[in-house]
Structure 1
């Protein structure tokens, strides 16, 4: 880095020198890339500087130190602010990477990405997501602290900070998350609001005129205002005051100026475009910064920022010493906590899951899922989650595990709460009707570490949380989604609740593993895969209606689900002439059709609960299950046909629903849309012209 301090005019203070270093490292990177958002780093550098140098407990040498404070840049468009801070404080982010901002293969993408940039806690950019992620991080800290801390031994003890923007606060996901955070009284959650009153296309007086402080007060937050975003002591005092408020989350409204010091200050043009060479020059002149060289880091500033390295090592070492003492006093909780921190599952976590006996009547996979959850969750202390006010319908309540609630709640206020403990140690999260916040909060919990979060709702409402699901996949976060009421078979509620297109929509998200089990025993394997798969979100797609539990002495083991698709029932004593491929509740139809056709056609039935798991198998396995020589193929799934052609080919048939459903009893719906044994057989005979 350049450290020629002779080029730097004497600043009024070291603080001012450091703040301007952040500003112009950001401005120069945006300008070199000819792309990016310089306005936020110019305006918010001062408050970020105060937070990072006076409050944030972190370890640049070990970004994953577990008891670190978490910082979320929810306003992810201002990514160069975060990259500048990471570089300056000693993270593994070189000046060369700063100079490669927004370029192919760099560690400095246009918006912060977890797993790409050391020190980035969550992937942000879609506004409001980071706001809600921070709530999830704070909830994870509260749960682990309640479970493992002991009087005088607080081994889990950190703050969650975020820098949020006007755009974040406008997004509905932030409102949902803020409402829940206030209800839960998350006192270790502190947000700095970059109140610059400018968005991409307009000033906020055009779009956003509510009283922001009163809004958050009504949610149950502690609020403060700082009139000048460059007043370091006022910001310092506000953060200290927020730390003193332990029974409410805090938001500090800091009045800043987007594009501070530039000719574009306080204008929309400062938001999302480089300043341009001439305005960069004028900004540097106004703030007393040398015109050359670019990417200047004065040695005084570098030395000041790099103190974070030694301080961080000391804090982490002190915590490790604390953990040693804790382990001596409380060996079992310490062992359990270490396992959670390092993502180590108990060897026998699924020992109490019992196979379901064959049963022609069977049960819904949502009901099977509920029984399976009850069998394994006591062995997985990091397994915590809930539903969007649908726990009785999704069968996802953890029995006698209590509600995750503020310990300050009055017991009489907890009507309908799960049995057992209640407080932050409770493992059932009552999200209320807040699907989008639920998804984003689960991402935050997963990002925190030590937690396997799950969340549940009807499949038709998965679109309410789609942006969060997408970010979980992009970030390689292990979040488990339980989506029930998966097809037109739910019946009378009608097309508003019949998710014909949403299996295809979820399958379209890269890195998301979608599993639609075909009976209760496939549901066991689906849950085992959901727990065991690392670094991927998993969506379990479950039925409302009963379906037969197959006799696995007659049909292939449900363990075949691990491969995504498997030969469930093969043609007897002959090579198959026709392959029926089905998922979920349609698997039984395919089995029945095979039985009816067996005197005329050699039929193979393939259960295909997960395309993603199947695609991960070898070409040899694909050929074994779906031999190329057998072109007569029929898929059977109560959803749209999109995507099925990859398995049925040009000569195949897709029994599907390429329109919205209707309101009628489930059996009537299935009959009218062709999901019957007779229709499958008719289509098969037509296909083979027999």
Structure 2
């Protein structure tokens, strides 16, 4: 189509824009001379680069977490990770949609943004979509890495903003706690069933569901280091056991899926995420007592695992072996890994109001049920 010249001229702001840019560049050049260190820090943040000591700092934090061997909820492990990483990231701006005390998104250096002055933490109120949209705006502005928290079920309210973050390939970090029926008495309105799978289906969204403090810390590191898209962190309300790993296994976590516990000549492969990893490991032990060896694969981030070379994926999953996936969410998503002939210990209905441990037992998230699923494939 054709734009009339007088319309084009009326909207042509190139000369004015060029003049404004020259003025700004002149002011910044003067600022660089007057404040060289501050100007370098400004340029670093706007460029989206991490501090020079970032890698060393994050490695030291990981070593401390491994040494502690804590069995805590991954939402608490997330708070510990923020506490450890935020001091070297002044560009990190946090917040929560009226659930700060539950999401555990505060750290000791958090200062609320308020009428009284600037800060690095935003109390958004019950505004999940508003929070996520503001986070996207902060990321687009540049010089800021935003994160914000709510319950995983309430990610539905944020859906448009989550999709836009992925579409725009921006570094927004969405913290979603209370990630399954494990949250307990709040009942089915608050218990996530389809949400992990739904988030994984958003192109460009990396979704982490870590099983312990080590995976949680590495999920945070990966989210902060990622410059080409958003990350969702799915975290438990309930405590989960610490998992022992050697250095090679720890490094493999960054690949999204890895062999957590192996066996000689395994007869099957167990895949699990988050709070269900402990069930897979318990099933492995019980099966071993019956002379059945299995491999346990922890897959905290399926999207990163899917981006690995085919050879790595085959080495981890062993295509020729039957597979059982274990996750407190809908079953269908895991068919891409276990196939139609495999088994999935999952849940395809809404939950109930009861203590989390009781619900896990009621809905079949037990070691015995995982053992039963493995045996059903080996007949």
TM normalised by structure 2 equals 0.94
Q: Does 1:619 align with 2:324?
A: no
> SS in structure 1 opposite 2:147?
strand
CA distance in 1, matches of 2:286, 2:99: 39
Could you tell me which residue of structure 2 aligns to residue 145 of structure 1?
none
Q: Is 1:643 aligned to residue 310 of structure 2?
A: no
Q: How big is the shift at 1:332?
A: 2.1
1:297 deviates by: 3.0
1:472-483 alignment to 2 at 5 Å? 472-483=165-176
1:642 CA displacement: 2.0
Which residue of 594, 610, 614 maps to 2:301? 610
Q: State the partner residue of 2:202.
A: 509
Post-superposition shift, 1:354? 3.7
- What is the match of residue 314 of structure 1? 19
Q: Deviations over 1:129-155 (max 9, x none)?
A: xxxxxxxxxxxxxxxxxxxxxxxxxxx
Partner of residue 439 from structure 1, selected from 132, 143, 146? 132
Match of 1:569 in 2: 261
**Deviation per residue, 1:345-399 (Å, 9 max, x gap):** 1122351524324778700111011011011112112110200111111111132
What secondary structure, in the 3-state scheme, does the structure 2 residue paired with 1:547 have?
coil
Matched with 1:398 is 107
- Contact 2:62–2:214 (Cα < 8 Å) also in 1: no
Alignment partner, residue 601 of structure 1: 292
- Asked if structure 1 preserves the Cα contact closer than 8 Å seen for 2:245 and 2:260, the reply is no
Q: Secondary structure at the match of 1:605?
A: strand
SS for the counterpart of 1:439 is helix
Within-5 A mapping of 1:137-216: none
What is the SS of the residue equivalent to 1:567?
strand
Q: CA separation of 1:470/1:305 partners in 2, compared to 1, >3 Å: closer, same or farther?
A: closer
Question: Whole-Å Cα distance in 1 between the matches of residues 70 and 88 of structure 2?
Answer: 31
User: Structure 2 vs 1, CA of residues 528 and 357 (structure 1 numbering), >3 Å: closer, same or farther?
Assistant: closer
Gaps of 5+ in 1: 1-28, 30-294, 408-422
Q: Tell whether 2:4 aligns with 1:297.
A: yes
Match of 1:341 in 2: 46
Q: Matched residue of 1:623: which SS?
A: helix
- Aligned partner of 1:112 in structure 2 is none
List aligned pairs for 1:374-453, cutoff 5 A. 374-407=83-116, 423-424=117-118, 426-453=119-146
Is the Cα–Cα contact under 8 Å of residues 272 and 298 in structure 2 kept in the other structure? yes
Q: Assess if the C-alpha contact under 8 Å between 2:97 and 2:150 holds in 1.
A: yes
CA contact (8 A) 2:249 2:258 kept: no
Q: How does 1:322-337 map to 2 (within 5 A)?
A: 322-337=27-42
Partner of 2:185: 492
1:431-467 C-alpha deviation (Å, 9 max, x unpaired): 0111111111111111111111111001011101111
CA 1:358/1:673 → structure 2, altered by over 3 Å: closer, same or farther? farther
CA RMSD of aligned residues (A): 1.7
Q: What is the aligned counterpart of 2:73 among 364, 371, 375?
A: 364
The total of aligned residue pairs comes to 374
Kindly state the Cα deviation for residue 669 of structure 1 after the two structures are TM-superposed: 0.7
Distance 1:493 1:507 in 2: 25
Kept in 1, the 8 Å contact 2:166–2:205? The answer is yes
Q: 1:449 to 1:361 in 2, by over 3 A?
A: closer
Give 1:305 deviation, angstroms: 4.5
Distance in 2 between the 1:677 and 1:544 partners?
20
Task: Please report how far the alpha carbon of residue 314 of structure 1 lies from its aligned counterpart in structure 2 after TM superposition.
Answer: 2.1
1:683 to 359, 373, 378: 373
CA displacement, residues 202-229 of structure 1 (integer Å, 9 cap, x when unaligned): xxxxxxxxxxxxxxxxxxxxxxxxxxxx
Superposition deviation, residue 525 in structure 1: 0.8
Asked if the contact 1:359–1:551 (Cα under 8 Å) also holds between the matched residues in 2, the reply is no
**How far, CA to CA, are the matches of 1:366 and 1:560 in structure 2?**
22
Secondary structure of 1:363's counterpart equals coil
Unpaired runs of at least 5, structure 2: none
Paired residues of 1:488 and 1:638 also in contact (CA < 8 A) = yes
Tell me how far 1:335 sits from its aligned partner: 1.2
Measure the CA separation in 2 of the matches of 1:556 and 1:603.
Answer: 20
Task: Give the secondary structure class of the aligned counterpart of 1:496.
Answer: coil
Q: 1:656 to 1:302 in 2, by over 3 A?
A: closer
Cα distance in 1, alignment partners of residues 253 and 123 from structure 2: 31
Partners in 2 of 1:492 and 1:559 — Cα distance? 37
Q: Please tell me whether residue 538 in structure 1 is matched to residue 231 in structure 2.
A: yes
Check conservation: 1:556, 1:569, Cα contact below 8 A: no
Distance (Å, rounded) in 2 between the aligned partners of 1:303 and 1:529:
47
Contact map agreement 1:358 1:550 (CA 8 A) in 2: no
Q: Distance in 2 between matches of 1:669 and 1:358?
A: 32
Match of 2:278 in 1: 588
* Secondary structure at the counterpart of residue 494 of structure 1: coil
Q: Could you report, residue by residue, the CA deviation over 1:295-320 in whole angstroms, capped at 9, with x for unpaired residues?
A: 1433x6555644x2232222212211
Superposed displacement of residue 686, structure 1:
2.2
CA shift digits 1:647-686 (9 cap, x unpaired): 0112210000010011111111111111111111122122
- Checking the alignment, whether the CA contact within 8 Å between 1:358 and 1:552 is kept in structure 2 is no
- The counterpart of 1:674, out of the listed 364, 370, 374, is 364
Residue aligned with 1:497, SS: coil
